Chain A
Amino acid sequence: MTPAKSLILTCLVMLAVVVASPVAIAGDSFALRARRILPVSPDLPWVIEGGVIVVRAGRIAAIGRDLDLPPDLPVVEFPDGVVVPGFVAAASELGGRHRGDESAAAGYRAVDAFDRYGDFAETLAAGVTTVHLDPGTHRLITGQGAVVKLGGPPADRILRARADLAVNLGPGVNNPPPEVTYPFPASADVAITPPIPQRPASRMGQPLALNEAIEAALAGTRGDPPSIHPPALAQAWNDKLPVRMRADLAADLLAAVRLLRDHQRAGYLVGGLEAHRAADAIREAGVPLVYRPGDPVRALGNDIGTDPNAPDTSASSPRSLQGLQLAVASPVGQPLADLRLAAVRQAHAGLGPQRALEAITRVPAEILGVADRVGSLAPGRDADFLVLTGDPLDVSCHVQRTYIAGRAVFEPPAGGALVVKAAVVWAGPGRQIRDGQILAENGKIVAVGRSVPHPPLARVIDVRPGGFVAPGLIDGHGHLGFLGDRTEVGNDLRLAGLVGVADVTDRRLSAAGVTTVLTAPYRISAMGSPCAVIKTAGSRRDDRVIRDPAAVLFDVRQTDPLAVQETLSKPLDAGKKYLDAWNKYEKDLKEFLEKKAKGQTPQDSQGSKEEEIKTPSGPDPVTGTWEATVSGVPTPEPITLTAGLQLIGSAVEGRVLHSSVGATGRISGTFDGKHLSAEIEVDVPGVDTPPKLEVDLVGEDHFQGTLTVMGITAKIEGRRVDKSPVDLKVVRTRRRTRGKDGRPLPPKVDESLEPLKALWEKKIPAVVNVSTAAQIREVLSLLVEKHQLRVTLLNAEEASVHAKTLAEKKIAVIVPPDVLRQRRYRDYHQADELARRGVPLALQSNAEDGARNLPAVALYAVERGLDAEAALEALTLGAARALKIDDRVGSLEPGKDADLVIFSDHPFLGGGRVLKTVVDGKEVRP
C-alpha cells in the first residue's frame, strides 16, 4: 500500500468514525474496566479477563483486553465486577392481554400497552433490559408483538413496534365468544344481526380458522362493519413479519411447525412444555424455540395427578432439546425478574452454563430480530449490559449496575446491605478467617465467616484473590475538631458539638483507615474534662457520635505524687455526692411507686415545712462587704465592684452594691469552706447567661479566682472591708423535695457532674494523664483499689514499673506517639515492652488530622519489636476496650458497627495499603 493510499484510507476510517458516532452526550460515553467480561458474541472470546468496554454515545465503541483507555473519557472501575449483556426476555406478560373478543384480531398492537415512562426498577435490578411484549395468548390471532427496552429515554425504548404476528395454538384458544354487532343507527332499515359464532372449536379448527383469516385478509375483506383486523393481518402478512407460534403440547407444536412450513413463513415457537416429544420435528424444520419452563419455583406443588394425558410440565429436559436454537424465558405468569433463575435451572438440568447464558442473551435477541442492537457485546451494539457481583449463573450473584444505552438505569440503593469478600478477614485478635466474607445490613455487621448470606440488592465488594479486612482503626487519644483551640474545657460541655457532616479533614482520616477517634481538649480542667468518641465518616451528627461523654479526663502529670489523691478526690467526691442524690431519688421514687401501687397514701409532703433560715451569729469567712477588682477584661480599665455577701449554711447570698460599670445584681451560690462558686443575676440587656464567679479563699479576707461574663473569663481578686453582716433582706425558700402527690422530686441536673456520675456508675472510664511511676501508683491506689472505677492510663511513660498490676487488673495504657525512650543509654519501645508483659495497649496520635499517621506509628512500633498482631490489636480492639466502646467497634462481630478497612494485604506484615474504608456499612468515598 502506498503512503498516499494508506493516508486516504486512514482519513476514510476517521471519517467513518466521525460519521458513525453522533455527538457524544454526557454520561453516555465512558470506559468501563471490570474483572471479567462475557461478551456472548460469536466473534469474541467467551471470557475477557480484566477487559475494558469503551462506550461512546450510548453504543459500544470497543471491547477488549489490552485496550488503551481513551484519554477523553471517564473510567468506571469495577475491579470485582463481571460484565454480561443485558438479559433479553423473549416472552413476558408485561403487555397484559387485550380484552377483545375477536378470534383473529391482528389489529391489536402490544406496543400500545407498553408504558414507555414506566419505572421497571425491580426488573432492571434482576438484569432484564429487553423484553418481548405479547398482545395476549387467549385467542388464535391476538395481534402484533413488540420488542422494547425497560429503561433509558422513553422515546428510545421501543426497539420494534411491530415485531411479529402472534398466533396461539392450543386448547386455550378454542370456543371464542360469538361476535355481536350493534346496529347504528338503530332504525327499521338496519337489521339486528344475530351473534356470529367464531372458530375454532377444536384443534382441527385452528389451522382452518387461521388459513381462513389469512385468505380473507389477503383478498381485501374489510369486514362489515369495517374492522381494522383483516387489513392489519394482510399488512403483517405482506410485510413478512415473523410468525410467533405459541404452543405447549406436542400436537400443537407439530401443527405449528407444519403451518410455518405450509405457508413458507419465517417464525418461531414459544412455550414448548412438551417440546421433548416433538423435538425431532422441530429440529428438522430448524424452527427456533423460546422455551418457557413449566415449573414455577414460586409455586411448587403442581401435582400432575393420575391423568395419563396431563402434560408433565417439568419434563422438557434440555438434553432432549440439543441442536435447537433455544432461548429460555421465565415461566408463564412469573415475574420477569425470574429470568436468570430460569436459565440457572436449565444450566443445572444439563444445558450447561454457556448455552444457558446464551439462551437469555444472544439467542433470544436473534429470534426477536434485534441481535444487531442487543443480546451481545460487540462494537456497534447498544451499550446495554450488566455488572454482576459474580458469575451470571452463580445463583447468589447480584446485579451491581444495569446499563441501557450507556446510562446506569439501576444501582442498588446506598445504605442497603453490603457484602465484603477478601482473602483474609481479621475479625479480631486470634480470629483470622481465610477467604472470608462479611455481611453488613443497616450499618451493623450481621455475619462474618467463610460464607455469608447474599441478600438481593446487596452491594458487593470483592477484593479477592487479595485483600485483608480489619476493623476500622481507632485513635486512642487525639484532638480532632478543636482546630488548635487550647481553651480549658469543663465537664459541662458536650464535645459532640464539634462534629458535623464529615469534612475534608475527617476524610483524610477515613482514607487512612482511621474510622474512630477519641477527641479530647488540649487543656484539662482540675475538675476533669469530658471527651467524646466520634467516627470520621457520616453525614449526621447522631450517626457520627459513638459516645459523648466517652470518658472523664484527668491530668495529674504536673501534680506532686503526694497531692494526686487530693487533686482527684475533689471532682470525684462531687460526682459521688451527685450520684448519691440521684440514687436516693430513685430509691424514694421506687418506694413511692410501690406504695402507691399498694394503695397506701404516701407521706404528707407538707409535713416537712420550710425551715426558717437562720443567720449564723458569729463571724464567718464570707459574710461582710467585699471590694473586688476584675482584670483581664476588654475594658480600658479594670472593673472595680463592691459586694455584700452573707453565708447561710453552705449557701451564699449577696448583692453587687456598686460597680464601676454601673451594673448591680444578685449573687447566689455555694461555699464549701474554700471555694466559692456563684452566679450573678445582672439586669443588663445582652447578658443572657448570668456571669459566673469561681473564686478560692486564698487567705483571710482575700479571694482570688475567675469571673466569666458572656464567655469571657477574667481574673477577679477581692478583699473584705467589713465583716458585719449586710442586711440583704434575703428570702430563701427551701427547695421542695416532694411533689404535690408526695412523689419525690428529682435533684437538679448538673451537666458538669453528669460525666462524673457516669464514671461512678462505671459506664465510662477515667482516662488519667500520668507520667511517673509514683503518680501511677497514687492513681491506681485511689481509683482502682479504693473506688474500683474503670481506669485507662494516658501516656504513662513509666508504666512498665507497674506492668504486673496493670496486666493483672487489665488496665490499658494509651502509649504516647513519641514512643522511643531511653534507659541506661539504650533505646527501648514502650509499646513493645508493655505488650510483652501483657498490659493492654492502645495507640494515640495526640493530634487532630495527624491521626492519619496512626498506621505509621504502629508500623514503627512493629519495627522496634512490637508483635504485628499486637499492633493491629492495639489499633482496634485494644483501643476499643481501653475506651470501653468495644460494644460498638473494635472487632468484626455480628451486632457491632460495620466499620472496616480493606487493606491490600496485612498492613504491617505484608505492606498492605488501604483500598477502601467502610463506615456504618457505607463505603467512604475519598
Chain B
Amino acid sequence: MNARRVSIAVVLLGLVVADGRAAPPAKVALQGGRIIPVEGEEIAQGTLLIENGKITAVGAQVEIPYDAMVVDVSGKVLLPGMISPHTWRGLDRANENLPVAPYLDVYDAIDPSSLAFEDALRDGVLAVHVIQGDSCVIGGLSRLVHPIGRTPDEMTIRPAIALKLSTSPRSGFDRMSQMAAMREAFFDLGVYLEDLAETRYEAELKKQEKQIDVPPEEARKRGRELIRDEDLDDKHANLLRLIEKRLDAWIYCGAATDVAPAIGTARENGFLERSVFVLGVDAYRAVDELKQAGRPVVLPPELVHQERDPITGELRETFVPKVIHDAGLLFALQPDPDASLAERYLTYQAARCVRRGIPREAALQAITLNPAKMLGVADRLGSLQVGKAGYVVVLSGDPLDFNTWVEQAYIDGILAYDRAKDVRLQELLGLEEKAKKAADAKTAKAEEAKKVEEEKKEGEKKEDEAKEDEGKEDEKEKDEGKEDEKKQEKQPELPQDQPSPPDGEEP
C-alpha cells in the first residue's frame, strides 16, 4: 500500500507535482478550514490531519504533530473527494460491438492521459468509476480509479468492481432480442457449467482410478463443487463470479419498463443483492419496483423528466431525485460531461436537489458517500472520517454555491491538484491579462519612439533628461527587490517539493 503510494508519480497538467523519487509528506495538517465531513456534524473551523495517506484526526481541536506539514486553509471548505459513479470517459469508446462480452475489462482501455481525468480532478472528482457504456447486453468489468497516475495500475483504487448489464435494447436490438440474449447468456452458462461439472467429476474419478458410477444428472451435481476457477474459460469466468455473488452487477435500465426485467434477471440468477440499477431519465416511474428491490440506484445526468400528454399536449415535469429520495432509496448523482451547461459539475447537480427540496446532507451524500457505498469502498472513501483515505477537496466556499471553485485536491494525502498551478486553467484565465499586457507594451513602445524623436528635436533639455534617467533606474532597482521578496513568500506554497523541515533541525 505504502509502496504503491510512494510509487505514484503524478504527472499533472504538464507540471510535476510530486516527484517520483521524493517521498510524499508523511503527515499533512489542513488547518483552519470549515470541514464538511458528509457523515457527522459540520465543523465550522477545524483541522484535518492526514498521516501516511490516512485521515487520523478531524476536529475543531486537533493536536498537530511537530513534524506535520501544516497547510493553512482558513476561509476554505474541506469536502471529501467527490465520486463520479458511472462513466465511460477515460476510454476511447463506450462499447464493444459484442452484445454479450463479460470477458472484457476497461483496464485494457483506460487512457491515463485522457482529458476526462484532468477535468475530473479540476472539478473535485477524486474517484471515477470507469465502466462500459449502455449499449450492450452483458458488458465487461469496470474499475474504480483516481484521476492521477501514469498507468491504469497506478490509477486503480479498486479493480473489477462490477459487470455492466443492460435491459434496454442495445443499438440494433429490440427488447425481445435484448432479453432473449440475456436469458441465453445465463442459459449458456448453465449448460457450460453442467458439462464442466460432468467432466470434472469424471476427471476426479479418473484420478482415483474409478469408472463413472452415477447417471449424468448426479455426476453434474457432484462435479459442481469440484469446479475450480482455473477450470473456467474466459467467456464464462466473470459470469460465474457474478452468479456466485463475487462481483457486482450494474444494470442499466433506460426506461421504466426495463426495471422489472432488470430486477427479474438479477433475482433469477441470484445476484440481486449485489446489483446497482443505473437509471435512464424516465425509469424513475418504476420507483415502486425499485423500492421493493431495495437496491441503490444511479440517477441519469438529466434530472428533470418532461413528458407530454399525447392528447392535450400538456407538458409535465418531474424532478427525478426527489421521487427517488422520497422512496428512501440510496442514490448517486451523475455529472453530464457532454453538457455545456452546469450539469457537468456534481456540485451543481447536488445544489439542484437541495433547491427542489432534498435535504442538504442527502444531496451531498449523493455525490460522495452514496457512490462510495455502491462501489464497496465506503470504508476508504466518501466522507472525512478517521480511518478513511485522505481524499480531500479544498473548496473556495460552500460546495453548493456555484461561485465556488476547487482550490486544492488531496489524493491519499498527496496534493494532486492546485488551482494556482493548473496550467490550462491559468492559461484560460490569463488570456485577458496577457492581451492587456501586450497592448500596454505596444503603447509603451510607441511612446518611447515618440520620445526619441522629441529628443532629436529638442537637444537643449539634456540635463533634465539625465536626471529623469537616474530616477528611473532607482525605481527599477526597487522593483527587483520586491520580486525577490515575492519569491521568498511563494516558496512555502510548494511543500510537496520541499517539505518544510521541523523547527530547530536546520541542516
List chain A positions with a Cβ less than 8 A from chain B: 95-100, 105, 107-110, 112-119, 121-122, 125, 135-136, 143, 154-155, 184-185, 222, 225-228, 231, 413, 457
Contacts and interface: CB of A to CB of B under 8 A. Distances in A.
Nearest to B186: A228
Contacts of A107: 180, 183-184
Contact of B256 (A105, A117, A222): A117
Contacts of B285: 117, 154
Interface stretch (B22-30, B32-40, B308-316, B348-356): B308-316
15 contacts: A108-B176, A109-B176, A112-B175, A112-B179, A113-B175, A113-B176, A117-B282, A118-B257, A121-B310, A121-B311, A143-B176, A155-B288, A226-B188, A228-B187, A457-B311
B375 to A, nearest CB: 29
A228 B181 CA distance: 9
B264 to A, nearest CB: 10
Given A116-B260, A117-B282, A413-B312, 4 more contacts: A100-B180, A122-B310, A135-B176, A185-B234
A859 B206 CA distance: 111
A735 B160 CA distance: 85
Interface pairs A-B: 6 shortest CB-CB: A117-B256, A98-B176, A226-B191, A112-B179, A115-B257, A413-B312
Given A113-B175, A119-B310, A222-B191, A228 B256 contact: no
A728 B307 CA distance: 69
B257 A116 contact: yes
Contact of B311 (A113, A154, A227, A413): A413
Nearest to A143: B176
A98 B183 CA distance: 15
B174 interface: yes
Interface string B236-262: 000000000000000000011100110
A121 B307 CA distance: 13
Given A119-B310, A185-B235, A112 B188 contact: no
B173 interface: yes
Nearest to A105: B180
B172 interface: yes
Contacts of A457: 311
B178 interface: yes
Contacts of A108: 176-177, 180
B255 A115 contact: yes
A122 B177 CA distance: 27
A155 B289 CA distance: 9
B187 to A, nearest CB: 5
Given A113-B175, A143-B176, A154-B286, A225 B188 contact: yes
B255 A117 contact: yes
Interface in B202-251: 233-235
Contacts of A114: 257
| Chain B contact residues, majority secondary structure | helix
Interface string B254-287: 0111001100000000000000000000100110
A640 B184 CA distance: 101
Contacts of B309: 119, 121
Contacts of A228: 180, 183-184, 187
Interface in B142-190: 172-180, 183-184, 187-188
Contacts of B260: 116
A908 B192 CA distance: 89
A254 B272 CA distance: 49
Interface of B: 172-180, 183-184, 187-188, 191-192, 233-235, 255-257, 260-261, 282, 285-286, 288-289, 307, 309-312
B140 to A, nearest CB: 14
A96 B234 CA distance: 35
Max count, chain A CB within 10 A of own CB: residue among B172, B178, B184, B289: B184
A114 B288 CA distance: 18
A572 to B, nearest CB: 50
Contacts of B286: 117, 154
A107 B260 CA distance: 19
A645 B288 CA distance: 81
Contacts of B180: 98, 100, 105, 107-109, 112, 228
Contacts of B257: 114-118, 154
Contacts of A143: 176
Contacts of B188: 225-226
A98 B257 CA distance: 17
A58 B288 CA distance: 20
A185 B177 contact: no
Contacts of B282: 117
A37 B307 CA distance: 36
A502 to B, nearest CB: 22
Nearest to A182: B98
Contacts of B234: 185
Contacts of A122: 310-311
Max count, chain A CB within 10 A of own CB: residue among B176, B187, B282, B309: B176
B90 to A, nearest CB: 27
Contacts of B183: 107, 228
Nearest to B167: A112
Contacts of A135: 176
A226 B233 contact: no
A672 B184 CA distance: 100
Contacts of B172: 99
B256 A227 contact: no
Contact of B177 (A100, A115, A225, A227): A100
Max count, chain A CB within 10 A of own CB: residue among B173, B187, B309: B187
A190 to B, nearest CB: 11
B235 to A, nearest CB: 6
Contacts of A155: 288-289
A99 B171 CA distance: 12
A454 B235 CA distance: 63
A112 B184 contact: no
Contacts of A109: 176, 179-180
A225 B192 CA distance: 10
B187 A231 contact: yes
Nearest to A412: B311
Contact of B176 (A95, A117, A226, A231): A95
B185 to A, nearest CB: 9
B235 A184 contact: yes
A226 B188 CA distance: 5
Nearest to B314: A413
A771 B189 CA distance: 102
Nearest to B188: A226
A285 to B, nearest CB: 31
Contact of A113 (B174, B233, B235, B256): B174
Nearest to A118: B257
A341 B283 CA distance: 35
B176 A110 contact: yes
Contacts of A154: 256-257, 285-286
B175 to A, nearest CB: 5
